Amino acid sequence: MATQRGTGLPSRLDALLRRPRPRVVSLVGLALVGVLAVWLLVNLVKNPQDFFTVFLIGLTTGTVYALAALGYTLVYGILQLINFAHGDVFALSGLFASTMILTVFELTEESAAIVIVLGLLATTLVVIAFGATVNAVIERVAYRRLLAAPRVTLLIAAVGMSFLVQNIALAIYDVNFRRVPELIPRSNVFSIGGVNYQWNKLSVILITVPVLLALIWLVSSTRQGKAMRATAQNPDAAAMVGIDVARTISFTFALAGALAGIGALLFLLQFNIRYDTGFELGLIAFTAAVLGGIGNLTGAVLGAVTIGLIQAFNEGLSWYTPGSDWTRSIVFGVLIAILVFRPQGLLGEQTPDRA
């Protein structure tokens, strides 16, 4: 019938008419992206200095989010589980790091540079071990018995675990915010046209990037990484070729916990932290993971940086900006928009339907 209609028309026009039309949904999605682009552009033109300052803030925050988002994406990739407790493990690790810095190593702004460096290095190692242990223990205690149960059971257990971990942090650290002294100087790395960038912000990126490279190497080039990818792809087949699936899952949880530990330390050096910080942060990080395409490591980083930028732009720009009152709504709005318009995420390999 289509050919019937097509006869008489020039062939190129015919091809154009028969081209699959974009669905209304994707048009709406494109329109939203367009509005966002225009908004950013107008802000850039009106006040470039603010724009770039805010951009750098967003980049730093986004990098910290990336470390948390990777934890979600690693666990989701292997178990298809949203590990709700991950954000709370992040917060608990951060609080633990504050104990290490304040009480064990007693670092202050006046400490000698070498003491600060060594102290932070030691804290990093301890916090990595802490995060990895906590996450692996959670998996062993709460999730392992449920791996063969219906999926919703596991998910509900994860929600319960999140509250449990949060209250453990509450019991140990009470409700007060914890902060650490400015161990990394706030002096400028560069200052171009009124746009400043400080060492304490750059240090976040200097630490995160090697960690990410190491992670990608681990997953793509080592034996353990191969086992993880095999388990994510098909656990039954992986078990059949001799992979210890339970151990691989434990390892993945420990790895996610270790990343949360590093992320929490970096977060602590930038912001203050308390027992319930992990809840909102976890939601943001999960959104970032979904935005990038859940199960995709590079995607998680990209998504986290995007979310960090969106948050910073929302809180820092001036022209038609909703402001920090609306940050949470905007982050979730992004999440919902992504799931509606592009469920596979920016770089997604998996779609929610497949999960």
Give the footprint of other proteins on this chain (CB under 8 A): 79-82, 142, 144-157, 159-164, 166-168, 170-171, 235-236, 239, 245-246, 279, 283, 286, 290, 325-326, 328-329, 332-333, 335-336, 339-340, 343, 352-353, 355
Nearer to other proteins, 46 or 247 (CB): 247
Q: What residue type is assigned to position 187 of the chain?
A: S
In the complex with other proteins, the residue whose CB is nearer, 190 or 320, is 320
CB of 181 to other proteins, least distance (A): 29
Torsion of CA 19, 23, 26, 32, to 10 degrees: 110
Long-range contacts of 217-225 (CB under 8 A, 24+ apart): 218/255, 219/297, 224/248, 224/251
Q: At its nearest, how many Å lie between other proteins and the CB of residue 12?
A: 36
Q: How far is the CB of 53 from other proteins (least distance, A)?
A: 25
Nearer to other proteins, 125 or 159 (CB): 159
Least distance CB 153 / other proteins (angstroms): 5
Q: Is the Cβ–Cβ distance between 347 and 293 less than 8 Å?
A: yes
- Closest approach, Cβ 268 to other proteins, in A, equals 23
Minimum CB–partner distance for residue 246 and other proteins (Å): 6
Quote the strand ranges of the chain, DSSP E.
188-192, 195-198
Residue 201 vs residues 7, 110, 189, 287: alpha-carbon distances, Å: 64, 20, 9, 23
Burial 77-112 (b: 16+ CB within 10 A, else e): bbbbbbbbbbbbbbbbbbbbbbbbbeeebebeeebe
CA nearest neighbour of 249 among 263, 235, 259: 235
290 and 345 Cβ atoms separated by less than 8 Å: yes
Q: Which is nearer to other proteins, 269 or 335 (CB)?
A: 335
As measured in angstroms, the least distance from the Cβ of 148 to other proteins is 4
188-192/195-198 β-pairing: antiparallel
CB nearer to other proteins: give 119 or 293. 293
Of 18 and 151, nearer to other proteins (C-beta) is 151
Q: What ranges in 174-244 are assigned the alpha helix state H? A: 199-221, 223-233, 235-240
CB closer to other proteins, 167 vs 191: 167
How many Å apart are CA 210 and CA 215, to the nearest integer?
A: 8
Would you say 150 or 193 has its CB closer to other proteins?
150
Handedness of CA 105, 106, 109, 110 (dihedral sign): negative
Q: How far is the CB of 82 from other proteins (least distance, A)?
A: 5
